[in-house]
Amino acid sequence: MRIGVITIFPELFTTFLDTSLVGRAVTKGLLDVQVHDLRSFTDDRHRSVDDEPYGGGGGMVMTAPPWIRAVEELSGSRKPRRILLSPQGPALTDAKVRALAEEEELLLLCGRYEAIDERAIELVVDEEISIGDYVLSGGELPAMVLVEALSRQIPGVVGLPESVEQDSFRSGLLDHCHFTRPPEVNGLKVPTVLLSGNHAAIESWRGVQAVRATVEKRPDLLPKLRPEQLSAVQWRELENLGRSTEVGGQEASPSSVVATQTRDTE
Ligand SMILES: C[S@@+](CC[C@H](N)C(=O)[O-])C[C@H]1O[C@@H](n2cnc3c(N)ncnc32)[C@H](O)[C@@H]1O
């Protein structure tokens, strides 16, 4: 996957692109990230990218021409999807990350100051994406969030593809809890099932833990779940917790539950 980034602080990306899974993806050629300095697309001596707002008020506004020039020059004839990181866009989700991972090329625009001149947004931005309902000082961290999330979707970046599939949200639930050595920490023991070597029992236990974690930490996910995303064991756990009626897209249809029960025993 190819990703271009436009920013006035390209140096912020140096360590990020050299480190951990993203660094490895770049080194292996699975991910190509090119970071461009917006100031290289200015045409004045001071390489200025901002000016006072029309209408007055506080803060500086990023001028449109450098953005338009940068996006047009960097896009060439390839037509990458052009995304402005902005608190005003819809919040990034796992589904959105997966959809964007299908694109061949993205161009990420990192704003700074009070805003970018609206005409640049109208002319050279395809969509806005937010990383949450709070305001940062620039789009660089949100761009890194998006690049890192995308990198996990590229085959070969995460060692075990199953671990991406088992991550939170992918199945509609949160991930189950995890344990490693030592077997006891301050009197707290590892659940015995995890030491049993019984893979079916471990899978079933993990499925139940995923349901419990979701009910406890993110009950807002339940209405978005479909019954067929749950195994029979998970469905039973939801019923035991008195939460099965919150599962969305269901008429608590016995056929869907029977279908999942059948799948479970296969
Ligand atoms: C100080 S913010 C501008 C906020 C703007 N005045 C507003 O209230 O909508 C400067 C830049 O940071 C980035 N930014 C800030 N918060 C963000 C968020 N939650 N998600 C994505 N980008 C964000 C955007 O690129 C934005 O142009």
Residue ranges, comma separated, of all CATH 3.40.1280.10 domains in the chain are 2-151
> What is the end-to-end Cα distance of the chain in Å, rounded?
37
What atom of ligand 1 comes closest to residue 88's alpha carbon? Answer: 9
pLDDT tens string 142-156 = 999 999 999 999 999
Question: Measured between alpha carbons, how far is 42 from 66 in angstroms, rounded to an integer?
Answer: 5
- Please state, in angstroms and as integers, the Cα–Cα distance from residue 202 to each residue in 135, 159, 205, 207, following that order: 42, 22, 5, 9
CB 224, CB 246: distance < 8 Å: no
Distance 223 CA to ligand 1 centre (A): 30
Confidence of residue 107 (pLDDT cuts 50, 70, 90): very high
- Closest residue to atom 27 of ligand 1, CA basis: 111
**In this predicted structure, what is the pLDDT of residue 39?**
98
Residues carrying an active site annotation:
87, 114, 152, 167
**In this predicted structure, what is the pLDDT of residue 250?**
56
What atom of ligand 1 comes closest to residue 110's alpha carbon? Answer: 25
Q: Can you name the CATH fold of 2-151? A: Alpha/beta knot (3.40.1280)
**In this predicted structure, what is the pLDDT of residue 161?**
87
Query: Ligand 1, from 129, 136, 137, 140: best to mutate by most atoms within 8 Å of Cβ?
Result: 136
Q: What integer best gives the mean pLDDT of the chain?
A: 94
pLDDT tens string 69-83 = 999 999 999 999 999
What atom of ligand 1 comes closest to residue 62's alpha carbon? Answer: 27
- Closest residue to atom 3 of ligand 1, CA basis: 114
Distance 30 CA to ligand 1 centre (A): 29
* 204 contacts: CB under 8 Å, gap ≥ 6: 231, 233
CB 3, CB 26: distance < 8 Å: no
**In this predicted structure, what is the pLDDT of residue 259?**
46
pLDDT tens string 46-97 = 999 999 999 999 899 999 999 999 999 999 999 999 999 999 999 999 999 9
Which token pair is 124?
A: 């050279």
Distance 108 CA to ligand 1 centre (A): 13
**In this predicted structure, what is the pLDDT of residue 127?**
98
pLDDT tens string 161-201 = 888 999 999 999 999 999 999 999 999 999 999 999 999 99
Distance 262 CA to ligand 1 centre (A): 49
**In this predicted structure, what is the pLDDT of residue 142?**
99
Amino acid type, 254: P
Q: Using a 6 Å CB cutoff, which residues line ligand 1?
A: 85-88, 110-112, 114-116, 130-132, 134-139, 142
What atom of ligand 1 comes closest to residue 134's alpha carbon? Answer: 19
Distance 198 CA to ligand 1 centre (A): 49
